[in-house]
Amino acid sequence: MQQILVIAKQTFKEAVRNKILFILIILGVITICSSAFMPVVGDGREKIKIVESMCFRSITFFGTLAAILLSASSIPTDIDNKVLCTITAKPVQRTNIIFGKIIGFVYIIGVLLLIMGSVSYLLIRYTALKQSTQDSSVLLARKAFGPVNLQITGDSARRIGNVTWTEGGGKGASVWKFKGLSSKDKNDNLAIEADFLIEGKKRSTGKIPVKIKIINPYSARVLTESMEISRNKPLLLRLNGKSLDGSAELTVVVSPENSGDFLGVRADDLRIFWGEKSFGCNYLKGLTIISTQFLLMVVIAVLGSTFLSLPVNILFCLFVFFCGSITDFMRDLSTVINVFETREHEHVVSEVMQKSNVLLVCLNNIIKKPILLLSYILPDFRYYSVGKYFVDGINIPCKRIFMGFGYAVLYALVCLPVSFLVFKRKEIA
């Protein structure tokens, strides 16, 4: 253990004296501070949201870059400089070198997060202080509750992709059930937010009237609201927390009022917001998730550094990070190729056209399958995207932190043994 800590300390010292870390921290701080001067169209709330968004994006970008550049370069540089030659000639297990390096990078990430996180926090607080009290309330993190399940009633429902369409006029309804609702202040505003797809009889208006029933199963109290839902505009319904009558359960039923109007819903389209948490607590949670992402990147970079040269390893890490951030897009892309292929097969094609399917087969084997495979093998960095929580003013659930951490641990459990195996057989020439 002592050897691991010695190597970790040395790795940290080396990075501190390395100009790259300082340059990245300075650039990060400059970018964070510059967000305060960004021109904003809108009220004070928008200003705070933009600063928050910029701060988190800067921390993520510069932190990831630092994690990649430092951890991808450490072992190859030590091999090139022959420093590793003298270290491995001492009674040090090679696994200890890898552990030591990783712990050293954890120290570095800690320092980086401490500096950039503190600057960001102060800037966000300062920006909020300059706005009105009402605007600065956007910093509060609303507790979000997702539905336990979604039921579709009526016979007219049709499912297209992952969207279920129900027709109005009493022919169908969407029923969301919520459980485990809780808030310290029972009088808090309770808000129902939804983002539905609509298809109306009168296409030109882009609106359909819907009936919303809020049922408290505990007291059997029913609250009915009629609203108009617009296309591209989320539905927002504010209630008083008292309406729950102490119940932790709630059922929300939404149905279009008129026959011929359709409502397209998905399970996670409707959420309840009830109660608020402090910004500081939410901010710390956000930083914790981001730090887990850095840790994951360090593990991948160290794995690469055991068998790749410095420039190739940096490219490899950037590739992993880039593709890991767009896994959804990669899967969509492979689906597009699939759809294209299916449509070609669906139609009656001439012999000449059938020959051209060789291209589709190639496309399938050379592009689609590898893209799909990559999207599953590469780490999914969407687990670590926290910016939208702050922009939407939503409390980050602890589950999200554990999921991100668990995902990183799972990845580390695969990457570390491979790193040890490769590095154990690596020739330090």
Partner 1 sequence: MSDDVAIKTENLTKAYRSFWGRKNVLALNKLNIVIRKGEIFGLLGPNGSGKTTTLKLLLGLIFPTEGSAHVLGKTTDDVTVKNRLGFLPEESCFYRFLNADETLDFYGQLFSIPGKERKLRTNRLLNRVGLEFARKRPLKQYSKGMLRRIGIAQALINDPDLIILDEPTSGLDPIGTRETKDLILELKSQGKTVLLCSHLLSDVQDICDRVAIIDKGELQILGTIGELLASKDIVELLVRNLSKGALMEVERFIQEKQGDVISIKNSSGTLEDLFLKIYAANISNSKADV
Q: Which residues form the interface with partner 1 (CB under 8 A)?
A: 2-3, 6, 10, 13-14, 17, 81-83, 85-93, 425, 427-429
Choose between 107 and 405: whose C-beta lies nearer to partner 1: 107
Distance CA 371, CA 359 (A): 17
Whole-number minimum distance, CB 318 to partner 1, in Å?
24
Please identify, using beta-carbon distances, which residue of 86 and 240 lies nearer to partner 1.
Answer: 86
Shortest Å, Cβ 73 to partner 1:
14
d(CA 11, CA 67): 13
Q: How many CA atoms lie within 13 A of 348 on its CB side?
A: 0
Which residues fall within 8 angstroms of residue 177, CB to CB, at 6 or more apart? 147, 148, 149, 150, 151, 249, 250, 251
Taking the complex as a whole, how short is the minimal distance between the CB of residue 292 and partner 1, in angstroms?
Answer: 30
For 274-308, b/e burial (b = at least 16 CB within 10 A) is bbbbebeebbebbbbbbbbbbbbbbbbbbbbbbbb
| Nearest residue to 152 via CA among 273, 263, 271 | 263
3 vs 230, beta carbon nearer partner 1: 3
> Would you say 86 or 338 has its CB closer to partner 1?
86
Nearer of residues 92 and 115 to partner 1, judged by Cβ: 92
Residues 6 or more apart from 239 whose CB is under 8 A from it?
Answer: 189, 190, 191, 192, 214, 223
Least distance in Å: CB of 311 to partner 1?
17
Q: What is the smallest separation between the CB atom of 303 and partner 1, expressed in angstroms?
A: 21
Minimum separation from the CB atom of position 266 to partner 1 (A): 51
Amino acid at 392: D
CB nearer partner 1, residue 282 or residue 313: 313
- Of 261, 256, 173, 264, whose CA–CA distance to 215 is shortest? 173
Instruction: Report the nearest approach of partner 1 to the CB of residue 361 (Å).
Output: 30
* Residue placing its CB nearer to partner 1 in the complex, 4 or 66: 4
What pairs with residue 153 in β-bridges?
173
Give the list of residues 6+ apart from residue 104 with CB closer than 8 angstroms, or none.
7, 8, 9, 10, 11, 12, 14, 15, 74
Minimum gap (Å) between residue 426 Cβ and partner 1: 9
As to burial, measured by CB atoms within 10 angstroms (0-12 exposed, 13-18 middle, 19+ buried), residue 363 is middle
Question: CA 186, 396, 243: angle at the middle one, nearest 5?
Answer: 20
> Strand 250-256 relative to strand 173-178: parallel, antiparallel, unpaired?
antiparallel
User: At closest approach, how far in Å is the CB of 339 from partner 1?
Assistant: 41
- Cβ nearer to partner 1, comparing 403 with 428: 428
Q: In terms of CB distance, is 58 or 419 closer to partner 1?
A: 419
Cα 366 to Cα 101: distance, rounded to the nearest angstrom: 37
In the sheet that holds 235-240, the strands lie side by side as: 141-145, 270-277, 189-194, 235-240
**Smaller CB separation from partner 1, 83 or 326:** 83
Three-class SS state of 83: helix
Nearer to partner 1, 10 or 364 (CB): 10
Work out how close the CB of 18 gets to partner 1 at its nearest, in angstroms, rounded to a whole number: 9
The CB density around residue 225, as the number of other CB atoms within 10 Å, is 13
Q: Which two tokens stand for residue 312?
A: 């190739």
Q: Least distance (Å) from partner 1 to the CB of residue 83?
A: 5
Please give the DSSP secondary-structure letter assigned to residue 132.
-
